[in-house]
C-alpha cells in the first residue's frame, strides 16, 4: 500500500463544498502539510485518479454522494491495480458497525472510517500515520 507521508497529495471527494472546506481547514489547522486535491463527485475523482494517480497518496471519501456513492467509487477503484492500493478513509454520516463491515468488505485495506461530524482529533487520529505533519 502506498503511503503519503513523503508529501503525496490528499484527494478529498465530497459533493458538499462545505464539508470539503471543513475537512481541509481542520487538517491544515492540525498541521497537515500535504497538498490537497478536491473532487465533487465519484466520477470526477476517478477522472482525476486516471491522470494523477502517481501524485495521490490518500483519498478522503464521502459515502453519501449523488450518482456514484463512495462505496461505488471504492468498488470501481478496487478493480484497477495501479489505484487499488491507494489508502482510502471513508467519511460518513452514519457510523454503524454494519456500514463499517460493508466498507471493509469492499476494501479490506480501508485505512479508516470517520463519522461526521468529527472532531479534529478523531479525524487526525484516523489518518495520522498517512500524512506529513508539521514537526
Partner 1 sequence: MGAKNKDLVKFADLLVKGTEGLFTERSELKFTKSTEKIFGTIVEYQGKMQADGMEKFNNEAAYVSAVNYYLSGADMAKKKAIGALIVYIPQDYMAKIMKHLKYPAVDDENENALLDSCGTLCNILAGRFKSEIASGGYIELEMSHFKTYRNNAVPGVDFCASEYDSYTINFYLEGAKRMVFDMSMGIVPARK
Question: Which residue ranges make up the site for partner 1 (CB under 8 A)?
Answer: 15-19, 21-22, 25, 64-66, 69, 92-96, 98-99, 115-117
- Least distance to partner 1, CB of residue 25, Å: 6
| Minimum CB distance to partner 1 smaller for 65 or for 83 | 65
Cβ atoms within 10 Å, residue 131: 22
Cα 56 to Cα 63, 96, 124: the distances in Å are 19, 29, 18
CB 27, min distance to partner 1, A = 13
Q: Minimal distance in Å, beta carbon 69 to partner 1?
A: 8
For the CB of residue 135, give the shortest distance to partner 1 in the complex, in Å: 26
Residue 95, SS3 per DSSP: coil
Beta carbon nearer to partner 1, 2 or 64: 64
- The smaller minimum CB distance to partner 1, of residues 17 and 47, is found at 17
98 vs 108 by CB, closer to partner 1: 98
How far the first Cα of the chain sits from its last, in Å, is 24
Largest CA distance in the chain: 40
Secondary element (H or E) of residue 42: helix 42-52
Amino acid at each position: 500500500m502506498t503511503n503519503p507521508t513523503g508529501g503525496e497529495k490528499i484527494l478529498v471527494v465530497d459533493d458538499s463544498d462545505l464539508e470539503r472546506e471543513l475537512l481541509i481547514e481542520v487538517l491544515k489547522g492540525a498541521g497537515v502539510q500535504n497538498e490537497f486535491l478536491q473532487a465533487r463527485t465519484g466520477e470526477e475523482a476517478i477522472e482525476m485518479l486516471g491522470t494523477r494517480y502517481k501524485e495521490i497518496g490518500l483519498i478522503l471519501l464521502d459515502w453519501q454522494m449523488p450518482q456514484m456513492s463512495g462505496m461505488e467509487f471504492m468498488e470501481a477503484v478496487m478493480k484497477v491495480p495501479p489505484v487499488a492500493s491507494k489508502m482510502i478513509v471513508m467519511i460518513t454520516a452514519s457510523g454503524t458497525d454494519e456500514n463499517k463491515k460493508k466498507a471493509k468488505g469492499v476494501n479490506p485495506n480501508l485505512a479508516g472510517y470517520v463519522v461526521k461530524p468529527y472532531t479534529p482529533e478523531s479525524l487526525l487520529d484516523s489518518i495520522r500515520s498517512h500524512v506529513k505533519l508539521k514537526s
